[in-house]
């Protein structure tokens, strides 16, 4: 195991009034502590890519700090084996008056590299950071983006055995994000164990093969990123609505809601009627039957198409569609809403459809019925479109104009 955590707990002392503190000195009042988490147990094997998710304040950053040794565990044990690179507090050791180049040497030494080793890495670091002449300017003159670019480039100059990333702290501008993710992905493919904290479900799904959900001071779920993120989404919605979560054993069933309105059926229709498989570019209709069980003036119906890896492809809902009649004004009466799709320009593969009934623009207000993967359908190649790769059929047409020489 590369990372092993057992009975891990972290608490911070609670600030108290002067008399209580005084009492504490004399052993009269026990010190008060607030646990961020307690009793964490998990192991991570070599080469695994694990995402850590959870609400703000769930303890994700604290867990990473304990794993990297910048915070001490209050109880239990956390062991990390191998050369670790942590993208947590990027550029922490940078000296503002030193140039980028000088800081590279400084940071390299802190990473345990010898001077000649760093010297050999400098051109590559300089090229990756793409900060131009600023490389030889004092770091205090950098924009925050330049700072991140340089710090990321140094911290990842050598492929680590374990890479720990807090996305919120480790990203620069969009262009650099793409570049850094490409590097992180390459490390992962080359065998680096990855621990990745992010608020972006798409990033966790596409990078990680396992996810841990932190909440209520413990490990709420450990499993496939799709399942964990689905559970998390429903949990947020449920928390907001304080209704019971439909959960059977370990396997989350993917359906939650307070039942004031209910989705009765979801089907996809091609030209010939109901279909499980459609061709690239076919016209299709997503037909949803639902019933409101009381008058719900703000009833909104939404659908979300995801690819096989759970990545959001397309989502839409009926909020602010003035041409539609109200959805929730006829309690008890089953109704049908069609989403007509003129051309299903998706790549070949399987897709799932999540359907939800909620109020306002999103399900965080009132979640009446949230049905994850209510339907799975297949897109098969269509000879009219020719061969292409990817999830969208953009129908790019090559053309060339001969220029007179
Ligand atoms: N030095 C500290 N002293 C006291 N409490 C702390 C300290 N550091 C963190 N905490 C508390 O620990 C809890 C967990 O914080 P942490 O930053 O680990 O959460 P997080 O899941 O990373 O949140 P976010 O998604 O907002 O980054 C919070 O309630 C925070 O206030």
- ipTM field: 0.94
Q: Are 214 and 133 found together in one domain? A: yes
| Domain CATH for 266 | 2.70.50.60
Q: How many angstroms separate the CA atoms of 387 and 394, rounded?
A: 12
Question: According to the model, what pLDDT value does residue 28 have?
Answer: 61
Is 200 in the same domain as 52?
yes
**Tally of domains in the chain:** 2
pLDDT value of residue 182: 83
Q: What range defines the domain where residue 353 resides?
A: 257-380
Residue 32, domain member (yes or no): no
11-25, 304-318, 374-388, range with the lowest pLDDT: 11-25
Report the pLDDT value the prediction gives residue 153, as an integer from 0 to 100.
92
Atom of ligand 1 at shortest range from CA of 12: 4
pTM of the model: 0.64
- Asked if residue 280 and residue 227 are part of one domain, the reply reads no
State whether 53 and 180 are in the same domain: yes
What token pair was written down for 121?
Answer: 């890495």
Q: Are residues 54 and 118 in the same domain?
A: yes
Quick: pLDDT tens for 110-159. Answer: 878 899 999 999 999 999 999 999 999 999 999 888 888 999 999 899 99
Tell whether 221 and 265 lie within a shared domain. no
**SS3 of the chain: helix, strand, coil, percent, to 5:** 25, 35, 35
Residue 244 has pLDDT above 70, yes or no: no
* Domain-embedded: residue 308: yes
**pLDDT score of 200:** 78
Domain annotation covers residue 284: yes
**Cβ–ligand 1 contact at 212 (below 6 Å):** no
Both tokens of residue 274? 């109901």
Test site for ligand 1: of 15, 57, 166, most ligand atoms within 8 A of the Cβ? 57
Residue 326 sits in the same domain as residue 202: no
Calculate mean pLDDT across residues 13-38. 72
Q: Kindly tell me if the per-residue pLDDT of 350 is higher than 90.
A: no
102 lines ligand 1 (CB under 6 A): no
> Where residue 103 sits, what CATH number does that domain have?
3.40.50.300
Closest ligand 1 atom to Cα of 71: 1
Q: How confident is the model at residue 23 (pLDDT cuts 50, 70, 90)?
A: low
Nearest CA to ligand 1 atom 3: 12
Please check whether residues 185 and 306 belong to one and the same domain. Answer: no
Residue 358 CB less than 6 A away from ligand 1: no
Question: Per the structure block, which two tokens stand in for 334?
Answer: 């089953």
Are 143 and 263 in the same domain? no
For residue 10, being part of any structural domain is answered with no
User: Vertex 71, ends 66 and 73: CA angle to 5°?
Assistant: 60
CB atoms closer than 10 angstroms to residue 50: 22
| Residue 217 CB–ligand 1 contact under 6 Å | no
For residue 79, being part of any structural domain is answered with no
- Together in a domain, 200 and 266: no
Asked if residue 9 belongs to a domain, the reply is no
Q: Radius of gyration (Cα) for the chain, nearest Å? A: 26
3-class DSSP state of 288: strand
For residue 207, tell me if it sits in a domain.
yes
Tell me, yes or no, whether 328 and 201 share the same domain.
no
Do 151 and 295 lie in one domain? The reply is no
Is residue 403 in a domain?
A: no
Query: Measured in angstroms, how far is the CA atom of residue 208 from the centroid of ligand 1?
Result: 23
Sequence-separated (6 or more) residues with CB below 8 Å from residue 311: 202, 205, 206, 391
The stretch 389-401 carries a mean pLDDT of 88
According to DSSP, the β-strands at 162-166 and 84-87 are parallel
Ordered strands of the 284-292 beta sheet: 273-274, 261-270, 284-292, 335-341
The residue whose CA has the least distance to atom 24 of ligand 1 is 56
Listed residue (228, 260, 258, 226) closest to 244, CA to CA:
258
- Sign for the CA dihedral angle at 149, 150, 151, 156 comes to positive
Whose CA is closest to 359, among 288, 304, 297, 289?
Answer: 297
Mean pLDDT of 282-292: 96
Task: Determine if ligand 1 sits within 6 Å of the CB of residue 54.
Answer: yes
Residues forming a β-bridge with 351: 377
């Amino acid at each position: 195991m590369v990372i092993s955590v057992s009975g891990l707990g972290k608490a911070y002392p609670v600030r108290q009034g002067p008399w209580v503190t005084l009492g504490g000195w004399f052993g009269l009042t026990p010190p008060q502590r607030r646990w961020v988490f307690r009793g964490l147990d998990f192991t991570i094997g070599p080469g695994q890519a694990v995402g850590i998710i959870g609400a703000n304040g769930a303890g994700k950053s604290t867990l990473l700090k304990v794993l990297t040794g910048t915070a001490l565990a209050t109880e239990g044990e956390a062991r990390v084996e191998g050369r670790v690179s942590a993208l947590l507090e990027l550029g922490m050791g940078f000296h503002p008056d030193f140039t980028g180049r000088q800081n590279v040497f400084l940071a390299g030494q802190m990473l345990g590299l010898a001077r000649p080793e760093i010297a050999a890495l400098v051109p590559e670091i300089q090229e990756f950071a793409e900060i131009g002449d600023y490389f030889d300017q004092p770091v205090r003159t950098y924009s925050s983006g330049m700072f991140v670019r340089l710090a990321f480039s140094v911290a990842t100059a050598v492929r680590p055995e374990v890479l720990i990333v807090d996305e919120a702290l480790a990203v620069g501008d969009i262009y650099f994000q793409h570049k850094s993710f490409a590097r992180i992905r390459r490390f992962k493919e080359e065998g680096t164990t990855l621990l990745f904290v992010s608020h972006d479900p798409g990033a966790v799904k596409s990078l990680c093969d396992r996810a841990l959900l932190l909440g209520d001071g413990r490990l709420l779920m450990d499993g496939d990123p799709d399942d964990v993120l689905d559970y998390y989404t429903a949990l947020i919605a449920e928390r907001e609505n304080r209704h019971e979560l439909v959960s059977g054993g370990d396997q989350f069933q993917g359906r939650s809601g307070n039942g004031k309105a209910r989705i009765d059926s979801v089907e996809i229709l091609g030209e010939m009627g109901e279909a499980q498989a459609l061709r690239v570019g076919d016209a299709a209709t997503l037909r949803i039957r639902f019933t409101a069980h009381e008058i719900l003036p703000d009833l909104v119906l939404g659908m979300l198409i995801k690819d096989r890896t759970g990545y959001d492809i397309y989502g839409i809902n009926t909020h602010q569609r003035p041409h539609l009649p109200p959805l929730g004004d006829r309690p008890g009466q089953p109704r049908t809403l069609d989403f007509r799709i003129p051309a299903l320009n998706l790549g070949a593969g399987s897709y799932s459809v999540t359907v939800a009934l909620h109020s306002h623009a999103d399900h965080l207000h009132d979640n009446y019925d949230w049905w994850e993967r209510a339907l799975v359908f297949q897109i098969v190649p269509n000879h009219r479109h020719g061969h292409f790769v990817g999830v969208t059929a953009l129908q790019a047409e090559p053309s060339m104009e001969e220029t007179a020489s």
